[in-house]
Amino acid sequence: MDTKELLKKVRKIEIKTRRLSDHIFGGEYHSTFKGRGMTFSEVRQYQFGDDVRNIDWNVTARYNEPYVKVFEEERELTMMLMVDISGSEFFGTDQQFKSEIVTEIAATLAFSATQNNDKIGLILFSDEVELYIPPKKGRSHVLRIIRELIEFEPKSKQTNITEALKFLSNVMKKKAIVFVLSDFISDDYQHTLKIASGRHDVTGIRVYDKHEVEIPNLGMVQMQDEETGELQLINTASKKVRRNYEAFYREKVAYFKESFTKSGAGSLACRTDESYVKKLLGYFKRRG
């Protein structure tokens, strides 16, 4: 992709996702993810209805009239976006690949965090951590994250969520808001997820395509595993083949739900042909 085309794509995503974060998600994000507590801001004269417990007795004695302490939320937080860039993310049967939806969701979340003056970091992973961008503030930083989400070419097509979560625990010592965006066609990550969720506020966003849920009857079809590159001739007319695949897929989805529930982490699922806006808003409102 040449520079001009890349910048055009970045700009298009910025316009769409920034509008969403400005008009829809900014307030929801703020109310859902609280700061680290309340910090002293100033003193002012007592007004009817003020909590008497906040009276500053030293200042009151000095001026011979009641003054109260004013507190404000210590807001600054850090958001980490953990994005699966393995081969299976480049799958889509309608207008968009899963990876494109993931990019839009990540950009919307990043701009929502920017509105609240929070830092945003990025971890791109396959079966290893392919790229780490330390948390920073500002629009130009978010645009860099979007560029990497669009342009970055992974070395591996396979997935290892556990390795990504271990890396998160190593680089993020303070509590962060963490969004893991993946199709979660993986397993054996529950233990590591539980450790990460004990330290951070973790949410898993499972992005999937409707044709991953079940294989349609199309007769003999040559299929390629996007993660291994292996080509296989599959008889989709076979009920047994379709049942086995559906059982495999349901098992991965059940493992995702069980892992996030047992770890005390949040989770939601977004299908590529559905509105991720409604899904995110619903999730924020349930948590807020």
> Could you tell me the residue ranges of all domains in the chain?
3-32+76-213+246-287, 38-73
Residuewise pLDDT in 10s, the chain (288 residues): 667 777 777 878 888 777 777 766 666 766 677 655 555 556 888 888 888 888 999 988 988 999 888 765 555 789 999 999 987 765 545 567 888 899 999 999 998 888 888 899 999 999 999 999 999 998 899 999 999 999 999 999 889 999 999 999 999 988 899 999 999 988 899 999 999 999 999 999 999 988 887 777 777 776 666 556 677 777 777 788 788 888 888 999 999 999 999 999 999 999 998 888 889 888 988 886
Residue with tokens 């404000």: 72
Nearest Cα to Cα of residue 260 among 199, 208, 189: 189
3-32+76-213+246-287 classified as CATH 3.10.580.10:
no
Are 123 and 129 a contacting pair, CB within 8 Å?
yes
